[in-house]
Structure 1
Amino acid sequence: MNIEFHDHGATATIIINSWFRAFGRHCRAVDAALFAAPGSRYQMKGGIFMKTVINGKTVPLLRALKVAKQEAAR
């Protein structure tokens, strides 16, 4: 599982990539990030390789990044 953070000033983006075998971990990390960052938007694509892009304000997404990394490490 790969988690990237891109800062664009007032907004930011988190990109979570993983293989289909890690579907449970991927969904758990995405759900935790979305709960930690209210008001954020997400887009999920996937097949064999799943990709989720979460957009929103920078400060809530920094908290969401921390939570997503903790859930991915479980």
Structure 2
Amino acid sequence: MKIEFKDFGAVSSVLITSTIFEFRKHNRVVDTTLFLVPGVVSERRGAFFMKTFISGKNRDALRAYKTVLREANR
């Protein structure tokens, strides 16, 4: 699982990339993040290589990034 944080000024995004073999972990990380961090939106793409973009205001995206890291290491 690969996690990247990108800052675009007022808006930031978190990119989570994983393969189909980490499907359950990927879903758990994304669902937990969307549940705990209000104010962010997600967009999912891909079949074998899954990519999820979580974006929002800078503070919300940074909180989402910290939540993703914490949940991925679980």
In structure 2, the residue matched to 1:38 is 38
* Cα contact 1:45–1:52 (8 A) shared by 2: yes
Paired AA for residue 58 in structure 1: N
Paired AA for residue 40 in structure 2: S
- Which blocks of at least 5 consecutive residues in structure 1 are unaligned? none
1:55, distance to aligned residue in structure 2 (A): 1.2
TM-score by length of 2: 0.91
In structure 2, the residue matched to 1:57 is 57
In structure 2, the residue matched to 1:68 is 68
1:13-66 CA deviation, whole Å, 9 max, x = no partner?
100000101011101111122123212111101211100011100101111111
1:11, distance to aligned residue in structure 2 (A): 0.7
In structure 2, the residue matched to 1:8 is 8
SS at match of 1:21: helix
TM-score by length of 1: 0.91
1:2, distance to aligned residue in structure 2 (A): 0.3
1:47 aligns with 2:47: yes
Paired AA for residue 6 in structure 1: K
SS at match of 1:32: helix
- Which blocks of at least 5 consecutive residues in structure 2 are unaligned? none
